[in-house]
Structure 1
């Protein structure tokens, strides 16, 4: 009998790590594909919300998008030519700009956090209440 050999770790492709819930959402999303634009399947969020029992189309979309990004990143990492080309985001967000160490204006420009809730009631001290009562009694007697 031949002894089994250990496989070369570099020869084994890295597996896509998806949780059980992500696999379920992916299966539902693939049932909701409405169109394919630039090689990327477009998922109908309303239909996904109905099938997946989500409260709204937005919540369904928010659960699908991270899974879609994982799939696209996995496909792009393995091959130079991808069946799902990544299109640039239209929002134009980039990495935040770094501040210089000697930038004193950076401290002044940071916004202050507004307090939440109602302001605390100002409770007068006992001595102030007694003084007010004495003044009222004095005014009433005169």
Structure 2
């Protein structure tokens, strides 16, 4: 397996898409309403409904950067190179991997724990004397 190259804007590099971007592209293709000048027009309302977005604006804001990425890639190259999907780092296994990497790397700074430090409660001198006085009184009687 070869190492994927970084995406260049039309510089001949291969396009890298993460798992979420691929999912949004699949949903967007189901929502194409028209094609103007070779560019598919995605119906944001339909994409919002299919993708469970709160509004059409949310769907549009998710789709536009992906569309720009695709357009920059296709306008720069005409060889039709295949797309490379990069695996998502989010999920259940990602935190385990990070913990293992952190343990291995000695030079990496550690995160400070959140919250307040527990304050030590020092008993008053009078309370200590009262405690011993009661113990002695119980022991003598």
- TM-score normalised according to structure 1 size: 0.46
**Structure number with higher helix proportion:** 2
* Higher relative contact order structure (alpha carbons within 8 Å, sequence separation ≥ 6): 2
